[in-house]
């Protein structure tokens, strides 16, 4: 009998980093409210008390570069 290949996660290797999960959760919450514009997303992240990887508040440059890294 076929050993069935059924794998929910095929786009990433291993489980997500807790930091990535937290960031994705925050973005989901922001998007769900209908916020899809870049400045409003950044404000949303800062309002939720999340910092950029360097410990500073998010700004456009930090957000773009972190998304480029995570979304590669």
Partner 1 sequence: MTTETATAAAGSKAAGKGKRKYVVGTRRQLDAAELAATGLRDRWYPIYPSRFVGTGDMVKVKRLGVDWLLFRDATGQIRMLEDRCPHRSAPLSVGQHLGDRVACKYHGVQVDGQGTVVSVPGMPGCALEGRTVTASLAVAEGADTIFAFVPLTEDSEVTGFKLPDRLDNPEISWFSNYAEWISPWRYYMDNVLDPMHGAFLHRDSHSMFGGDTSARFRIRETDRGFFFEKTDQRGKNFDWVEFCRESMDYVDLEIPYAESAGPGGSFGIVGMSTPIDENTSAVFHWRTRTVSDWERDVWRFMYKATLEEKHWAVLEQDRELLEALAADADRGEHLYQHDLGVARIRRVHEADAQKQAAILLDGSA
* Footprint of partner 1 (CB under 8 A): 2, 4-12, 16, 20-21, 23-25, 27-29, 31-34, 36-38, 63-64, 67-68, 70-72
Q: Which two tokens stand for residue 38?
A: 């870049």
Question: What is the Cα–Cα distance from 42 to 58, expressed in whole angstroms?
Answer: 6
Q: How far is the CB of 56 from partner 1 (least distance, A)?
A: 18
The least distance separating partner 1 from the CB of residue 38, rounded to whole angstroms, comes to 7
- Report CA Rg, the chain: 15
**Closest distance to partner 1 from the beta carbon of 44 (Å):** 12
């Amino acid at each position: 009998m076929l050993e069935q290949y059924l794998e929910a996660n095929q786009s990433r290797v291993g489980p997500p980093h807790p930091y990535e999960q937290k960031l994705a959760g925050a973005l989901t919450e922001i998007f769900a409210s209908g916020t899809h514009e870049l400045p409003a997303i950044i404000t949303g992240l800062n309002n939720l008390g999340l910092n950029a990887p360097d410990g500073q508040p998010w700004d456009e440059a930090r957000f773009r570069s972190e998304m480029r890294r995570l979304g590669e």
